[in-house]
Structure 1
Amino acid sequence: MSQSPNRMFDEFAKLMTDAAGVAQGAKREVETAFRAQIERFMSDMDLVSRDEFDTVKDMAIKALDDVEKLEERLAALEKRLADQDEKAAPEDKA
């Protein structure tokens, strides 16, 4: 039984289509395994999301601003206290 050339080409095309389908499936499996491995690796590294990072960054900036304001208030209070001590010192000597 000899097959006609068209029948052979049809069978060959079907074989290549099946091979392409198998290759696509293998590609999906490799990608899925790779993603799972990367996700496992990332979770082990205790990384934070960008939103969490930005939130903490904003909190740190606000805290630093508050510290600067408190430092200014403290310096003003220390100056007032020093001025009061200077005024009281001459009275003590008299």
Structure 2
Amino acid sequence: MAQQAVHSITRLNLQAHWLQDAIPVIKEFVQQTQNEPGCVYMNFYQDSDSDANVVFVSEFRSEDDYKVHDTSPWHQSIIEYLSDKLAGLPERTNLTKLC
């Protein structure tokens, strides 16, 4: 049986004084992710009402592809880089497509 695609939304609240430093690093992360074999898309958004709130929206072909992404050394390095630049814990929601 084929695996279902993984759709994910991750919200981060960056500390405002880190915003300008973090954005280029995050953009690089998104570009690397977009080049992964299992990535259908990865988009990066900034909240229109609060610059410090950013959102990743992604789709991976399968749970296996998502796990490869999530456990890759460079993905872990971005998590480490951002860990002291956040104003709170990241919020990740995995979604199931209904139609």
One fold, TM greater than 0.5? no
* TM-score, length-scaled by structure 1: 0.21
Relative to total residues, which structure has the larger helix share, 1 or 2?
Answer: 1
* TM-score, length-scaled by structure 2: 0.21
Q: Whose RCO is larger (CA < 8 A, sep 6+)?
A: 2
Relative to total residues, which structure has the larger strand share, 1 or 2?
Answer: 2
